[in-house]
Chains A and B, each alone.
Chain A
């Protein structure tokens, strides 16, 4: 089962003083286990552009389409047996403490 992990910032990060996990350690661990298929980080929100087509006209505007305080900063694609396994992978990500992580199953069009 494939899941997409949205890595987001959060206005209320963890206040626990315990040291943060290194992102490289997380990547290496879950690449080695085969649970992380790929991942990408995003550039700043200020560089975002939104594109819409309406009645044949292309509308281009500045900024992300959803104006929220929380910001998506990266994605990872996971291959996990079930949601609990995906939660285990997500909770070890440093941004689970520094921000928040949303896990969504990828649609399976082959069924």
Chain B
């Protein structure tokens, strides 16, 4: 393939994929039939990918795709059996009345509506994540199945069940307003967070992190008044900024204090820091759980080294986070932060309290944290034993090697 043809194919693919999401969202709104919407949008997309590289991308790619998909949907509906005839007639009427090219405002609303429907709390959590990936991000079902370690048929069933419930229980296709929005938004953000961590974790699907960032960006743009939506975008950008420094040549995780900070994505860090300073000036100031986590991540991302990190500020953020969302892991991180800010004794004191409930008993990172604080408090023998104990409990080979290295260094 010549460079020009490759470039044409790439431009066609980019334009078609960008428009796809909007077409699916619009067809779902108009017909109320998720499967029909997806099938017809897929067919339109396939036709575009077949023709556009040779013919060139049309002036209005979205309008082109929408026309093809709409005509296809009308065909399917008119050929349909007597089953659900009333619904089909309504869909045909709605499709015929719909303009080929939705208004820009409507496009934006459609995608936002779709996110809220996919993340509706009446659907099981695992289905919400899968449906978001399938419907909004257009990830193929086999790829989603692989990422969630289930067979393709299981994932297909999970998606079908979710779509059936949306239709049968009539889960609305709407962005909630007023107090309902305040109650629903955290659920939507939690799905994006799960999506992101799935892309970020060692054995995850890296593309999911990019999808999560794209969705968070969309949400932050469409709901600028929602501080937590913007904070989530900042948090993602900060975590993702370390993606090239988190692993060494062998693929092993590199701890924060040993990462090459010049390999961090400083443009992404800059964008996140800007978002956070805007949030600080807005009223009421953003200080929900994602804003606090993002501020902590920003302290790390903007420090020249571990020693130069503003640990007092991080400790303060963890204090508030522990009040908002008490959990053993947050208490553990809080203890570590206090250990750096106010000395190892203060850290050990909080760690003892965090472990009092027993929830962290077999958690290797809790033992490793105790080991680190103990070493800094001067008890080398006990610290080395604790590092070995942590190494014995971890399931990750690279983590085990890192912990044993620490034990040997002491």
Q: Answer whether A83 and B86 are a contact pair too, CB < 8 Å, given A1-B170, A105-B170.
A: no
Chain A: interface residue total (CB-CB under 8 A): 13
| Chain B residues with CB below 8 A from A85, complex form | 172
Q: Are A83 and B169 in contact (CB under 8 A)?
A: yes
1/0 per position for B79-91, CB-CB distance to A under 8 A? Answer: 0000111110000
User: Smallest CB–CB gap between A57 and chain B, Å?
Assistant: 36
Q: How far is the CA of A1 from the CA of B176 in the complex (A)?
A: 19
Q: Are A111 and B87 in contact (CB under 8 A)?
A: yes
1/0 per position for B163-193, CB-CB distance to A under 8 A? Answer: 0000011111010100010000000000000
Closest to B84 in A: A111
Closest to B168 in A: A105
Specify which of A83, A104, A111 is in contact with B172 (CB 8 Å cutoff).
A83
Q: Are A84 and B169 in contact (CB under 8 A)?
A: no
Closest to A104 in B: B169
Near A by CB (< 8 A), chain B positions 271-291 give: none
The count of A-to-B residue pairs whose CB atoms sit within 8 angstroms is 32
Chain B: interface residue total (CB-CB under 8 A): 15
| Chain B residues with CB below 8 A from A104, complex form | 169
Closest to B167 in A: A105
> A-B pairs with the 7 shortest C-beta distances?
A82-B172, A82-B170, A83-B171, A84-B172, A83-B169, A1-B170, A111-B84
Provide 25 A-B residue pairs closer than 8 Å at the C-beta atoms, listed in order of the A residue.
A1-B170, A81-B170, A81-B172, A82-B170, A82-B171, A82-B172, A82-B174, A83-B120, A83-B170, A83-B171, A83-B172, A84-B171, A84-B172, A84-B174, A88-B180, A103-B169, A104-B169, A105-B168, A105-B169, A105-B170, A110-B86, A111-B83, A111-B84, A111-B86, A111-B87
Report B's interface with A, CB cutoff 8 A.
83-87, 120, 122, 168-172, 174, 176, 180
